[in-house]
Structure 1
């Protein structure tokens, strides 16, 4: 975990856990449509196959 403070704001960066997966995938699918300079596009992220 890493904490960054700037202008009276605090940001905490930590490793993702399984409970974060749905929100991360939704976020990546949104930003995938915002640029042509990414290696993925809108809607190209999904849930991985269960093994």
Structure 2
């Protein structure tokens, strides 16, 4: 179900408390999601191996 999240903050808070997460369909553009995923992969490849154990 899609809700108007800007006009239903109580519903969002209720769903978050009930489910532990909230879904915002189409909150990010596809290009933004791609950029985030690229940076996550870069972080995993470049930063994590250098972290102390």
TM range (shorter): 0.3 to 0.5
Bigger helix fraction? 2
Bigger strand fraction? 1
Structure label with greater radius of gyration: 2
